[in-house]
Homo-oligomer: A and B are copies of this chain.
Amino acid sequence: MKFNVYLSGEIHTDWREQIIQGCKELELNIEFSSAVTNHEDSDAAGDILGDEEQSFWRDHKSAKINAIRIKTLIESCDLAIIRFGDKYKQWNAAFDAGYCAALNKPYITLHDEKIIHPLKEVDANAQAWATTVEQVIEILKYTKG
């Protein structure tokens, strides 16, 4: 059983690398994928198509180009891990969760206890809520057991 896991959400800590490294050490047969996680590159994706004066349209073009990759990866993954960090609105992470839920695609959330309440709808559709990277790795190990 080959397994595709999409890593969505927070881009300011190294949680992705920790999960990938942890699974590598366990020699789990998992292919990980993500959106472009370099913040500036991601914001500037639309500039390929020419500059925009209005920030709305610049963001619009970038978000749509990023979506080509995100959409394809979410639809072909077997499981998504969706990380909510301490800062920023992270509405794109919640958006990805809703997208997964509508497709009946399983996902695990990864976040601190203090944001349980605002994430209750997102967690209600998740297969699991983890608070540490180690727990996520354990679940992946168990699932691939």
What copy number does this chain have within its complex? Answer: 8
Distance in angstroms between the alpha carbons of A55 and B48 in the assembled complex: 19
Interface size on A, residues (CB 8 A): 72
Partner of A72, one of B72, B92, B106, B124: B106
Tell me whether chain A's interface is mostly helix, strand or loop, or mixed. Answer: helix
Q: Interface readout for A41-70 with B: 1 if CB under 8 Å, 0 if not?
A: 100011011000101110111111111110
List residues of chain A with CB under 8 Å of any chain B CB.
1, 3, 33, 36, 41, 45-46, 48-49, 53, 55-57, 59-69, 71-73, 78-79, 84, 88-104, 106, 108, 113, 115-125, 127-131, 135, 138-139, 142-143, 145
